[in-house]
Amino acid sequence: MHCAISWVERVAEFPEEQRATHGRLAWAAKDKITEILSEGARLIKRAPRYPVFLLAQLEQVVLDQGHAIGWRVWAWAKLVKVWASLRWSDLQAIVPAEMALVEGRLVTTLRRTKTSGPNRRVRELPVAISEHAYFVKRSWLKADVEYLSSRKSLPFGSYGSSVYRALELRYTL
């Protein structure tokens, strides 16, 4: 907020000595207001931190042909969510046909999230996960990309066109 007020004062060409943001008093007032407003506020709920061992095991599940295909896709989606810092609901914004491996990276675009979408200032958000995002084997990333992006012929129209819906569909098959 302090920066916004300072910008308005500069644009309005107020003399520096007449600016509300000039000097220590403005900074002290900002700190006091922030302290008063944050009193009694709820703590920010952080996403759970996953142990490295758990993420390594998820990579193993993705690559192990002996596991049920539903578990493998779920583990892959969980790893994508962790490495791309996505919410589970963000996976609904990924269209499988738009996922691609480019120079070893998984790239796609989120069309709608809590912070983006048709009615928002930010309409799309790019997503990229490096081939170096792994603990055990780097091949976990491409394991299900090939499967999901090749599913253009699946009836996604009736199920929705998201990775999340593909996970539901694939798990039921």
Q: What is the pLDDT of residues 36-93, one digit of tens each?
A: 877 877 777 777 788 999 999 999 998 998 888 778 888 888 898 899 888 877 777 7
Domain limits for position 31: 2-38
| Coil/strand/helix, residue 39 | coil
Q: Are both 159 and 87 inside the same structural domain?
A: yes
Q: Could you tell me if residue 45 is inside a domain?
A: no
In tens, the pLDDT along 66-80 reads 888 778 888 888 898
In tens, the pLDDT along 119-142 reads 666 677 888 999 999 999 888 888
Asked if 141 and 133 touch (Cβ cutoff 8 Å), the reply is: yes
Residue 164 φ/ψ, nearest 5 degrees: -60, -45
Average pLDDT, the chain: 76
Task: Report the pLDDT value the prediction gives residue 76, as an integer from 0 to 100.
Answer: 87
Q: Are both 118 and 145 inside the same structural domain?
A: yes
Q: Could you tell me if residue 46 is inside a domain?
A: no
| Coil/strand/helix, residue 20 | coil
Question: At 106, which helix (H) or strand (E)?
Answer: strand 105-110
Q: Are both 94 and 156 inside the same structural domain?
A: yes
